[in-house]
């Protein structure tokens, strides 16, 4: 049963399963995204969180910010933890041993939903094997990557999601370096290529688009991957009050295109068709430069000797945007 | 409901089949596993039981042993019975999550078929993996033959799930020597086994949606110490539950188990202390020594964690010379058993001669002759009242003798 949502005011107060009073930085996108995901449904939600900012800031004993069942094991295995909890759910349901409250929820048409949250370190890097395994096995759960393009929890080291030119503590800009040398890994495409029935990229500023995709994901049987832009005040070095503005620049410049990939497949994983939909098209695509200029992690790119990296960025974004449109048009 | 399997009064099972049958009879809700030699047949047997309808749970064939234990933790936190099997490198890959499982107080059962750790790569049995995991906060039960592998695995569920314990349990058996050696095993019939283990009663289930729980929190110096102390306390106190379950099992089967396995220890003057299949070999060696008039005994450690400190002191109080047998590369010091037996003896105020024998690494055969040689050495020490040999010797090693101290 999909939750009906009318406006932002109603949406933002529509449930209270994640406590805002936690240790996250002011202006952190993680908090916004988690609230948006949880508010997208009235069904019970069970959550696993990878080691990272979200985990260390929201469940510091004897406190917890979570009014849903929540588990943290390690940096790499949030996907396996929640996927296995979902398997246990199916077994106990079959055996008639689910707790009464859960049976009641099912009778009311509110089946529990299983969600893992991981940062880009936990997703693109250390936890990739576990994530890949869970998707290959076809577990029925949603994985949300809170992608802030850096190991923020450990003090800002590069990850394989860190984009070219970003200055991090392990890819610092200096007299002879412009920062990170490699392009960002294409996680959305990689997860879609696992044959996942639903994969989408979202940004917290486009909340309606995000919620629609989360709801679609919850209605999908099988593994769902959501890549969420999560602007990081600490490591992107913008002011806390600018989080949504920076996100907006990311979407409007097509650095962070909003789209979804739907693989129509059967229970054995045979894919009958793949469809890519661009879900938001900027009226006037702004230059990448504006997005970069809003974040001091790219400040050094504006020195004359580094201008070519900004050009490279623009080229990369244009090629990718064009490619997405071609795929959408061709229906593949 | 799973199909019942009609078992003979005596079955010819190897250790892997014995463990797999115990897992089947435990009516596990979720098994998450990854195969590794020599424990692979446990996973294979279990898959076949599933394919034939003898198991009613789910089997998640994950992509690694780390994934297997991660899956076990997630599934156990969701409120059902969970188990898996592993060996060696797989055990090493699981190690991070082994601490998570005990820290979260989840009664997972892990059947460990002991095998050497690389390098060099070796598929055969020694206790390197057992020693690697000894501080992970799990109850450790040791079995020396397929019958015991079966019995210990059944009892592991009942011990770990006891509300006074709520800790994960490892059941060890020797790679190949036990896991691939078929022997007569007297199983319980399915109904008896179900009746013995009983229904799983979840604690803090993630799936009770009206009562959300938080598993695996962050603690720092303000609370971590209290959590670990409580965990240690409950692990130490699990002895009473272990004894209770052993007694219930004896009532049901007539098979008696204790924290220690004692063979001719009542009047022993020299004793071999060992783990694994070597315990049975040492019994044969002890018999031969007895024929020669040497009062030889064997002390097998049945429960490695919690360590039966007092019971060891009691069992060894009249022994004049002791061999602590360690089947693990010592890594720059004495073997674990030597150190722990030594600590127990020091506190007991007794001063027997205590020698450390490193043996059987990577599946190297340990013969009755090796063990009688050790008894001969112990006998000489017992007679002279002092150590006549180096403290640490390598047994059955090719080339020049190797000893230290």
Of B71, B209, B219, the CB nearest to A112: B209
Strand-strand pairing, B270-274 and B321-326 = parallel
Distance of CA A260 to the CA centre of its chain: 13
pLDDT of residue B127: 98
Note whether A77 contacts B97, CB cutoff 8 Å: yes
pLDDT tens profile B321-358: 999 999 999 999 999 999 999 999 999 999 999 999 99
The answer to whether the bond into B42 is cis (omega within 30° of 0) is: no
DSSP summary character for residue A320: H
Q: Name the residue in chain A with its Cα closest to that of B2.
A: A95
Contacts of A87 in chain B (CB under 8 A): 30, 58, 60, 71, 75
Judged against a pLDDT cut of 80, whether residue A1 lies above it is answered with no
Distances from the Cα of A17 to the Cα of A20, A35, A111, B214, B266, angstroms: 10, 8, 16, 13, 63
Distance of CA A229 to the CA centre of its chain: 6
Q: Which residues, listed in sequence order, are joined to residue B392 by a DSSP beta bridge?
A: B356, B404
Distances from the Cα of B198 to the Cα of B44, B121, B168, B281, angstroms: 25, 41, 17, 35
Of A84, A98, A133, the CB nearest to B30: A84
Strand-strand pairing, A173-174 and A177-178 = antiparallel
Contacts of B53 in chain A (CB under 8 A): none
Note whether B79 contacts A46, CB cutoff 8 Å: no
In angstroms, rounded to a whole number, what is the distance separating the alpha carbons of residues A222 and B355?
59
Q: What are phi and psi of A10, to 5 degrees?
A: -65, -40
Q: Is the dihedral of CA A299, A303, A308, A311 positive or negative?
A: positive
pLDDT of residue B282: 98
Note whether B73 contacts A81, CB cutoff 8 Å: yes
Q: What are phi and psi of B85, to 5 degrees?
A: -140, 150
Of B30, B100, B208, the CB nearest to A101: B208
Note whether B74 contacts A68, CB cutoff 8 Å: no
CA distance B211 to chain A (A): 8
Query: Of A11-15, B199-203, B240-244, B344-348, which gets the smallest average pLDDT?
Result: A11-15
pLDDT, averaged across chain B: 97
pLDDT, averaged across chain A: 96
What mean pLDDT comes out for the span A99-126?
97
The percentage of residues in chain A with a pLDDT greater than 70, rounded to a whole number, is 100
pLDDT of residue A21: 86
Pick from B50, B53, B75, B228 the residue to mutate for testing the A interface (most A CBs within 10 Å): B75
Is-contact B206 A84, C-beta < 8 A? Answer: no
Please identify which residue in the block is written with the tokens 């190797």. Answer: B402
Contacts of B209 in chain A (CB under 8 A): 44, 46, 69, 99, 101-102, 105, 112
SS3 B355: strand
- Going by C-alpha positions, the residue among A18, A5, A32 that lies closest to residue A204 is A32
CA distance B66 to chain A (A): 8
Judged against a pLDDT cut of 90, whether residue A102 lies above it is answered with yes
SS3 A114: strand
Q: How many CB atoms lie within 10 A of CB B390?
A: 14
In angstroms, rounded to a whole number, what is the distance separating the alpha carbons of residues B259 and B236?
13
With cut-offs at 50, 70 and 90, classify the pLDDT of residue A273.
Answer: very high
With cut-offs at 50, 70 and 90, classify the pLDDT of residue B67.
Answer: very high
pLDDT of residue A16: 87
Note whether B74 contacts A81, CB cutoff 8 Å: yes
With cut-offs at 50, 70 and 90, classify the pLDDT of residue A269.
Answer: confident
* ipTM computed for the complex: 0.97
In angstroms, rounded to a whole number, what is the distance separating the alpha carbons of residues A267 and B298?
57
Q: Name the residue in chain A with its Cα closest to that of B77.
A: A85
Contacts of B332 (CB under 8 A, 6+ apart): none
Give A69: exposed, middle or buried? Use CB within 10 Å, 0-12, 13-18, 19+: buried
Q: What is the dihedral of CA A262, A264, A268, A269, to 10 degrees?
A: -40
- Going by C-alpha positions, the residue among A120, A239, A105, A113 that lies closest to residue A191 is A120
Contacts of B114 (CB under 8 A, 6+ apart): B87, B88, B125, B126, B127, B128, B129, B130, B172, B173, B174, B175, B276
pLDDT of residue A245: 98
Q: Is A112 on the interface with B (CB under 8 A)?
A: yes
Please identify which residue in the block is written with the tokens 């991660």. Answer: B70
Please compute Rg for chain A using Cα positions: 20
Of A77, A90, A95, the CB nearest to B66: A77
Is-contact A200 A226, C-beta < 8 A? Answer: yes
What mean pLDDT comes out for the span B59-72?
98
Buried b (16+ CB within 10 A) or exposed e, B155-182: bbbbbbbbeebbbbbbbbbbbbbbbbbe
Q: Is B96 on the interface with A (CB under 8 A)?
A: yes
pLDDT tens profile B121-144: 999 999 999 999 999 999 999 999
Note whether A73 contacts B32, CB cutoff 8 Å: no
Strand order of the β-sheet with A142-147 is: A271-278, A259-265, A198-202, A224-229, A142-147, A113-119, A45-49, A69-71, B214-215
pLDDT of residue A20: 85
CA angle A268, A272, A277 (to 5 degrees): 120
In angstroms, rounded to a whole number, what is the distance separating the alpha carbons of residues B250 and A35?
55
B-contacting residues of A 40-99, CB under 8 Å?
A: 44, 46, 48, 55-56, 59-62, 64, 66-74, 76-77, 80-92, 94-95, 97-99
User: What is the per-residue DSSP string for B183-252?
Assistant: EEE-PPPHHHHHHHH-----SS-TT-TTS--EES-B--TTTHHHHHHHHHHHHHHHHHHHHHHHHHHHHH
Distances from the Cα of B319 to the Cα of A73, B281, B324, B349, angstroms: 46, 20, 13, 13
Distances from the Cα of A311 to the Cα of A248, A292, A302, angstroms: 21, 11, 11
Q: What are phi and psi of B205, to 5 degrees?
A: -70, 130
pLDDT tens profile B364-389: 999 999 999 999 999 999 999 999 99
What mean pLDDT comes out for the span A192-212?
97
Pick from A22, A68, A83, A88 the residue to mutate for testing the B interface (most B CBs within 10 Å): A88
Terminal-residue alpha carbon distance, chain A: 29
pLDDT of residue B317: 97
With cut-offs at 50, 70 and 90, classify the pLDDT of residue A266.
Answer: confident
User: What is the per-residue DSSP string for B13-81?
Assistant: E-HHHHHHHHHHHTT-SEEEE---TTTHHHHHHHHHHHHTT---SEEEE-SSHHHHHHHHHHHHHTTS-
Helix axes A128-137, B65-77, angle to 10 degrees: 70
Q: Is B168 on the interface with A (CB under 8 A)?
A: no
Alpha helices in A203-242 (DSSP H): 207-219
With cut-offs at 50, 70 and 90, classify the pLDDT of residue B42.
Answer: very high
Is-contact B176 B363, C-beta < 8 A? Answer: yes
What mean pLDDT comes out for the span B150-167?
98
Note whether B100 contacts A74, CB cutoff 8 Å: yes
Please identify which residue in the block is written with the tokens 């699981």. Answer: B94
Token pair of B362 as six digits? 């990577």
pLDDT of residue B45: 97
Q: Which residues, listed in sequence order, are joined to residue A263 by a DSSP beta bridge?
A: A274
More confident residue, A270 or B360: B360
Q: Is A12 on the interface with B (CB under 8 A)?
A: no
pLDDT of residue A87: 98
CA distance B63 to chain A (A): 6
pLDDT of residue A76: 98
What mean pLDDT comes out for the span A69-87?
98
Q: Which helix (H) or strand (E) holds A311?
A: helix A307-330
pLDDT of residue A15: 86
Judged against a pLDDT cut of 80, whether residue B1 lies above it is answered with no
Judged against a pLDDT cut of 80, whether residue A177 lies above it is answered with yes
Q: Is B75 on the interface with A (CB under 8 A)?
A: yes
How many Cβ pairs closer than 8 A exist between chain A and B? 168
- Going by C-alpha positions, the residue among B374, B171, B195 that lies closest to residue B276 is B171
Note whether B29 contacts A95, CB cutoff 8 Å: yes
Q: Which helix (H) or strand (E) holds B404?
A: strand B403-404
In angstroms, rounded to a whole number, what is the distance separating the alpha carbons of residues A4 and A6?
7
The percentage of residues in chain B with a pLDDT greater than 70, rounded to a whole number, is 100
In angstroms, rounded to a whole number, what is the distance separating the alpha carbons of residues B69 and B92?
11
Judged against a pLDDT cut of 90, whether residue A267 lies above it is answered with no
């Amino acid at each position: 049963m999909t939750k009906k949502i009318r406006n932002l005011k109603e949406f933002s107060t529509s449930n209270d399963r994640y406590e805002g009073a936690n240790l996250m930085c002011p202006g952190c996108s993680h908090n916004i995204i988690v609230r948006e995901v949880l508010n997208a449904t009235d069904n019970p939600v069970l959550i696993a969180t990878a080691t990272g900012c979200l985990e260390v800031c929201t469940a510091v004993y004897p406190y917890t910010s979570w009014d849903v069942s929540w588990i943290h094991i390690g940096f790499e295995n949030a996907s396996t933890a929640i996927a296995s909890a979902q398997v246990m759910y199916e077994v106990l349901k079959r055996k008639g041993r689910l707790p009464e409250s859960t049976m009641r929820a099912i009778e009311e048409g509110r089946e529990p939903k299983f969600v893992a949250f991981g940062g880009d370190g936990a997703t693109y890097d250390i936890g990739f094997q576990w994530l890949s395994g869970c998707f290959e096995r076809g577990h029925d759960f949603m994985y949300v990557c809170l992608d802030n393009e850096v190991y923020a929890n450990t003090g800002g080291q590069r990850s394989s999601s860190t984009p070219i030119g970003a200055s991090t503590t392990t890819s610092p800009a200096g007299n002879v370096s412009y920062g990170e040398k490699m392009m960002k890994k294409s996680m959305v495409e990689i997860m879609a290529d696992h044959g996942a029935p639903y994969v989408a990229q979202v940004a917290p500023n486009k909340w309606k688009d995000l919620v629609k995709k989360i709801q679609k994901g919850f209605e999908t049987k099988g593994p769902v991957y959501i890549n969420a832009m999560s602007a990081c005040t600490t490591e992107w070095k913008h002011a806390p009050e600018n989080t949504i503005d920076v996100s907006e620049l990311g979407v409007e410049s097509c650095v962070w295109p909003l789209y979804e990939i739907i693989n129509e497949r059967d229970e054995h994983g045979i894919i009958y068709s793949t469809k890519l939909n661009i879900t938001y098209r900027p009226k006037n695509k702004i230059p990448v430069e504006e997005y970069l200029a809003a974040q001091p992690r790219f400040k050094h790119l504006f020195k004359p000797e580094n201008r070519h990296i900004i050009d490279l960025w623009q080229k990369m974004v244009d090629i990718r945007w064009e490619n997405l449109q071609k795929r959408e048009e061709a229906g593949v | 409901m799973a199909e019942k399997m009609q078992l003979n009064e005596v079955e010819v099972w190897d250790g892997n089949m014995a463990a797999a049958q115990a897992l089947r009879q435990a009516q596990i809700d979720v098994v998450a596993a990854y195969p590794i030699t020599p424990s692979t047949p446990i996973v294979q047997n279990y898959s076949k039981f599933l394919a034939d309808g003898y198991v009613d749970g789910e089997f998640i064939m994950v992509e690694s042993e780390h994934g297997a234990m991660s899956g076990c933790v997630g599934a156990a936190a969701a409120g059902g019975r969970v188990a898996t099997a592993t060996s060696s490198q797989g055990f090493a890959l699981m190690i991070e999550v082994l601490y998570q499982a005990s820290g979260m107080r989840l009664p997972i059962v892990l059947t460990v078929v002991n095998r050497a750790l690389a390098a060099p790569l070796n598929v055969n049995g020694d206790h390197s993996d057992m020693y690697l995991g000894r501080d992970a906060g799990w109850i450790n039960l040791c079995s020396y033959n397929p019958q015991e592998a079966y019995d210990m695995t059944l009892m592991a569920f009942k011990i770990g799930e006891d509300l006074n314990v709520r800790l994960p349990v490892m059941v060890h058996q020797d790679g190949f020597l036990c896991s691939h050696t078929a022997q007569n095993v007297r199983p319980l019939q399915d109904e008896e086994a179900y009746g013995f283990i009983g229904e799983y009663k979840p604690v803090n289930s993630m799936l009770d949606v009206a009562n959300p729980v938080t598993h695996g929190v962050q603690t720092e110096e303000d609370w971590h110490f209290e959590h670990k102390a409580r965990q240690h306390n409950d692990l130490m106190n699990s002895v009473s539950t272990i004894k209770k379950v052993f007694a219930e099992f004896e009532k049901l089967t007539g098979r008696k188990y204790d924290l220690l396995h004692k063979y001719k220890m009542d009047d022993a003057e020299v004793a071999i202390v060992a783990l694994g299949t070597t315990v049975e070999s040492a019994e044969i060696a002890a018999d031969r020594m007895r024929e020669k008039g040497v009062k030889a005994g064997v002390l097998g450690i049945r429960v490695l964690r919690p360590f039966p400190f007092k019971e060891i002191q009691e069992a060894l109080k009249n022994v004049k010379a002791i061999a602590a047998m360690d089947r693990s590369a010592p890594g720059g010091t004495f073997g674990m058993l030597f150190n722990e037996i030594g600590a127990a003896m020091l506190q007991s105020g007794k001063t027997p001669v205590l020698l450390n024998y490193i043996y059987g690494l990577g599946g190297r055969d340990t013969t009755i002759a090796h063990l009688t040689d050790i008894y001969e050495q112990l006998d000489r020490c017992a007679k002279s009242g002092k150590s006549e040999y180096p403290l640490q010797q390598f047994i059955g090693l090719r080339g020049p003798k190797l000893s230290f101290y």
